[in-house]
Structure 1
């Protein structure tokens, strides 16, 4: 045992991954695992700008992680999950760090939460954050015409709905052509929320046809990557399958991948560089961005 631990201790990066990965797999709270990981992930060598305002509310803030000396780099907007009632940008430093190390200017945003702020507030916040990020992209070393929008869980709903429903980008005067791709990780795009606790995130009397992203796909939407956790007990796989079908019907290019053995939390935890052994999330996201970015 001591000899084995001695070998592991020579690699702090591996040891960190094993410790945090064990916490995730053991079912520790999502925020607890996030905090452990975020404390250990270093942003040394990156340019980090915190609390960039994109609107008047205190939660209308985003942190921007950029490679040092970036110029004309692809830009990624990341939207956190939390059933629309929890979560924030601070819990996802590991995503910003991971994507910035891959060469992308990455904004990790917070948004207004339900039940005080119901649909479409959090979708409108996503569109507004995208607008401000594009306007300021060059100051961070990014290309405003080379933008990707990514989200996990409820954040994937926000990301997909904000781009695919023609209404939201039009409201903030963002051309859909500026968005090169949308990445949804374990998103609830297509379900009947009316008898579930998440009904608190939607207007009284609303129906799935009125709010679900798979009902709102514009034919000129950009390519999508949909990642589904094969062992997800929070968001059913049918959400991803229905979203893929809707994109197919609209003629929108979509890459649909089920990641076997991954759960609702491990699929996003695997974005962290110390936790890539959990699954291929980071690899697949980077491959998608590289395939669709402007050159």
Structure 2
């Protein structure tokens, strides 16, 4: 009976690899189920093998466990499917040689072996880039591990505009520093005390600081790239498409909010997040009260033929920020002929890159590294 119960629990969890979460904590479990699927595969195998030592409910447990095993394998199978055409699709946008990086030994976009690898850590420096009365805005600066002046990636964290900080998901920062990029993960002013466009101004101030201190930080000021996740994606997009920062060569958008007007009109499930309240706190009113501010804070409104090349990364099972935001952004970039690549991850949810070595994490990191390589040449 215990085996059957375990197999049923595993099956219920495995459903999250193919279906969208319906509640906040279930969403968090979805990240674990899909991006650490190998752990659950081991559990399923153990549960199935234990059937040799029990007779009661043996068939029911075996069938249930086998179904769970199949579902836990699906993120790996689908990752290989995406990986199979990733190089070709990326090359179609950015040209021959865009997927080749010196010294990577033709690294594949995804492999099972890499799911078990560790991640090298680079210790950041904490720098204060802007001071307000009673407020110090800081950045964690991950210096490049390659000698010489190198490009700089400015990272804007997520957190619904009202929480979070620059210590989020530091593994990618260390990875990029090891790969030869300086990385500046910034803090910014948070809602509801500070509203749009305050965080965008903070991105500008951070880049001013980085240019001013470029010599001591070994930054190539002709090669900046903005990267933002979720709410930080909206901030990074708005900064990239409106500020026209000197030396900005590209934008990386991880599941960001591209259309604030549409986002307000189609809110997320209240069991997941009160997305309308989040937007109201950030923008400064409801859409009915301040429609112009919603339009003004929508990155897609500013896309034009001069917009920087853009990499979009989004999971199809995202329940916090709908993939429709990324679809609308990609369509707008296509309309104006802006070079862009949209990496779609069919099984992934919001925050999938929590695990850099998971199926989604590997594919995203592979694409990010090649995007950086081609836009900062």
Task: Please classify the TM superposition score into its range, dividing by the shorter chain length.
Answer: 0.7 to 0.9
How far apart, CA to CA, are the structure 1 residues paired with 2:297 and 2:368? 26
Q: Could you tell me which residue of structure 2 aligns to residue 33 of structure 1?
A: none
- C-alpha contact (below 8 Å) 1:55/1:128 kept by paired residues: no
- C-alpha contact (below 8 Å) 1:156/1:184 kept by paired residues: yes
Shift of 1:41: 6.1
- Normalised by the length of structure 2, the TM-score is 0.61
Q: Could you tell me which residue of structure 2 aligns to residue 54 of structure 1?
A: 130
Q: Could you tell me which residue of structure 2 aligns to residue 206 of structure 1?
A: 290
Shift of 1:142: 1.9
Q: Could you tell me which residue of structure 1 aligns to residue 319 of structure 2?
A: 233
Cα distance change of structure 1 residues 278 and 220 upon mapping to structure 2, 3 Å threshold: closer
- Aligned-CA RMSD value: 2.5
Q: Secondary structure at the match of 2:124?
A: strand
Q: Secondary structure at the match of 2:263?
A: coil
Cα distance change of structure 1 residues 203 and 265 upon mapping to structure 2, 3 Å threshold: same
Q: Could you tell me which residue of structure 1 aligns to residue 94 of structure 2?
A: none
Q: Secondary structure at the match of 2:151?
A: strand
Whether 2:367 is the aligned partner of 1:284: answer yes
Kindly report which structure 2 residues correspond to 1:251-266, keeping only aligned pairs within 5 A, or say none. 251-266=337-352
| Number of residue-to-residue matches in the alignment | 249
Cα distance change of structure 1 residues 42 and 193 upon mapping to structure 2, 3 Å threshold: same
Cα distance change of structure 1 residues 135 and 64 upon mapping to structure 2, 3 Å threshold: same
How far apart, CA to CA, are the structure 1 residues paired with 2:152 and 2:376? 9
- C-alpha contact (below 8 Å) 1:52/1:64 kept by paired residues: no
Whether 2:272 is the aligned partner of 1:192: answer no
- C-alpha contact (below 8 Å) 2:166/2:185 kept by paired residues: yes
Kindly report which structure 2 residues correspond to 1:126-141, keeping only aligned pairs within 5 A, or say none. 126-141=203-218
- C-alpha contact (below 8 Å) 1:155/1:187 kept by paired residues: yes
Q: Deviations over 1:105-143 (max 9, x none)?
A: 000011000011111111111122122122223322220
Shift of 1:88: 0.3
Whether 2:143 is the aligned partner of 1:72: answer no
Cα distance change of structure 1 residues 121 and 41 upon mapping to structure 2, 3 Å threshold: same
Kindly report which structure 2 residues correspond to 1:73-92, keeping only aligned pairs within 5 A, or say none. 73-92=150-169
- C-alpha contact (below 8 Å) 2:233/2:253 kept by paired residues: yes
Q: Could you tell me which residue of structure 2 aligns to residue 220 of structure 1?
A: 306
How far apart, CA to CA, are the structure 2 residues paired with 1:49 and 1:275? 28
How far apart, CA to CA, are the structure 2 residues paired with 1:135 and 1:157? 26
Shift of 1:145: 0.7
Q: Which runs of 5+ in 2 are unaligned?
A: 1-27, 35-117, 268-275
How far apart, CA to CA, are the structure 2 residues paired with 1:105 and 1:23? 32
How far apart, CA to CA, are the structure 2 residues paired with 1:193 and 1:277? 28
Q: Could you tell me which residue of structure 1 aligns to residue 10 of structure 2?
A: none
Q: Deviations over 1:192-214 (max 9, x none)?
A: 32671222110223323222100
Q: Which moved more, 1:184-193 or 1:52-61?
A: 52-61
Q: Which runs of 5+ in 1 are unaligned?
A: 1-20, 28-39
Q: Could you tell me which residue of structure 2 aligns to residue 25 of structure 1?
A: 32
Kindly report which structure 2 residues correspond to 1:107-186, keeping only aligned pairs within 5 A, or say none. 107-165=184-242, 168-169=243-244, 174-175=245-246, 178-186=247-255
- C-alpha contact (below 8 Å) 2:154/2:183 kept by paired residues: yes
Q: Which moved more, 1:108-117 or 1:56-65?
A: 56-65
Q: Could you tell me which residue of structure 1 aligns to residue 336 of structure 2?
A: 250
Cα distance change of structure 1 residues 23 and 55 upon mapping to structure 2, 3 Å threshold: farther
- C-alpha contact (below 8 Å) 1:77/1:108 kept by paired residues: yes
Q: Secondary structure at the match of 1:91?
A: coil
Cα distance change of structure 1 residues 188 and 179 upon mapping to structure 2, 3 Å threshold: same
Shift of 1:42: 5.5
How far apart, CA to CA, are the structure 2 residues paired with 1:41 and 1:90? 16
